[in-house]
Amino acid sequence: MRSLAMRNKYLPVSATAVLLALMYGIGVINYTGFSDTQVVLNVFVDNAFLLVVAVGMTFVILTGGIDLSVGAVVALTTMIAAGLLEKGWPPAVALPVVLLVGATIGLGMGCMIHFFEVQPFIATLAGMFLARGLCYVISTDSIPISDPFWVSVANKQIWFGGFFITISVLIALAVVLIAAYVLSYTKFGRDVYAVGGNPQSAMLMGLRVGRTRIAVYTISGLCSALGGVLLSFYMLSGYGLHASGMELDAIAAVVIGGTLLTGGSGYVIGTVLGVLVLGLIQTIITFQGDLSSWWTKIFIGILLFVFIVLQRAVTRRRR
């Protein structure tokens, strides 16, 4: 029984990978210029912030929780960063400050969830209200960023062999690698899976369930703040309406990547594939070009549906 489970534990991720390749193949066949490597790299360039946020979300979902505040924390980060830079704060100070704010919000929600047994959905919904509210307290308008450091990082293109990526992509990939390492090879990573698998037995085993749970929300808050920094590189502005609905994109990416919402099973690499799926859907729509805004929404829904059902069909056989 155990060997069977072991053999098939990569099945959901593999299914996503195969379907992603299939989707890419369909794109290459149907649209000229789709096979250009830069198209794939652009998916990373355009979604680096979502990747970082989704990695943080992966930790939370692995413990069986959910974090609805990420989009709002991303917006708050762009807002605080833009506000501080506008006041003339040096980037070396502004950057740690925004990361700290994100981590603190995550910590607060984690404490509420652990110590007071508030349901994660509700605690993070309150966090979402709080972060969006703070955005509008700072300003109801968009704040442009003209700080030289920010602009130079934003515009820096790293060229190799005729293709380029941005610094944001490198940061996002670094976050992915660190997260994958932490989840696979550290005690904390094993705790995360154990808590998600069965909090009761994890506690009886003597694992520090509370600390793990608070830590994952702090990590998610920190990742959201970092994602917000990357978004502010991308947009070069702070705005309270940035990243609206991003929490759902992040959750969708994690789930498409084969992580169970009930916790205990899934991989960071799956989340990367999930973000690529969402990014590729956008790319296909761009290449299609003649879709009106409502057909775009319907098309995204249909692709999401096809993808989820196919993934479900592939992985169902294992039971």
Partner 1 sequence: MTNLMKQRLFWPVAMLALLLIGNLIFEPGFFSVELRDGHLFGSLIDILRQGSPLMLVALGMTLVIATGGIDLSVGAVVAISGALACQQIAGLDDQGAVGGVLVAVALALLLCAGLGLWNGFLVGVVGIQPIIATLILMVAGRGVAQLITDGQIINVNSPPYKTIAAGFLASIPVPVIIAAALVAAVALVIRRSAFGMLLESVGGNAGASRLAGIRSRRLIIIAYVACAVCAGVAGLMVSSTVSSADGNNAGLLIELDAILAVVIGGTSLLGGRFSIAGTVVGALLIKTLDTTVYTIGIPPEVTLLFKAVVVVVLCLVQSPAFRARLSRRQPAEVSA
**Is 3 or 292 the residue whose CB approaches partner 1 more closely?**
292
Task: Tell me which amino acid residue 3 is.
Answer: S
Q: How far is CA 228 from the centre of its chain?
A: 11
Dist. CA 268–CA 258, nearest whole Å: 10
Dist. CA 61–CA 107, nearest whole Å: 16
Our finding on whether 178 is near partner 1 (CB under 8 A) is: no
Applying CB under 8 A, what is the total number of residues that bind partner 1? 45
| Residue 34 beta carbon to partner 1: minimum distance, rounded to whole angstroms | 23
Our finding on whether 295 is near partner 1 (CB under 8 A) is: yes
Our finding on whether 292 is near partner 1 (CB under 8 A) is: yes
Task: Give the residue from 269, 255, 265 showing the smallest Cα distance to 193.
Answer: 265
**Is 35 or 262 the residue whose CB approaches partner 1 more closely?**
262
CB proximity list for 68: less than 8 A, separation 6 or greater: 121, 124, 125, 127, 128, 247
Residues 115-144 touching partner 1, rule: CB under 8 A, are 115-119, 121-123, 125-127, 129-130, 132-134, 136-137, 140
Residues 225-284 touching partner 1, rule: CB under 8 A, are 248, 251-252, 255, 260-261
Our finding on whether 309 is near partner 1 (CB under 8 A) is: yes
Alpha-helical segments (H) within the chain = 2-7, 11-30, 37-62, 70-86, 91-115, 120-138, 148-155, 167-185, 187-197, 199-204, 209-235, 246-256, 268-288, 293-316
**Is 119 or 186 the residue whose CB approaches partner 1 more closely?**
119
Q: Which residues bind partner 1 (CB under 8 A)?
A: 66, 68, 112, 115-119, 121-123, 125-127, 129-130, 132-134, 136-137, 140, 248, 251-252, 255, 260-261, 292-302, 304-305, 308-309, 312, 316
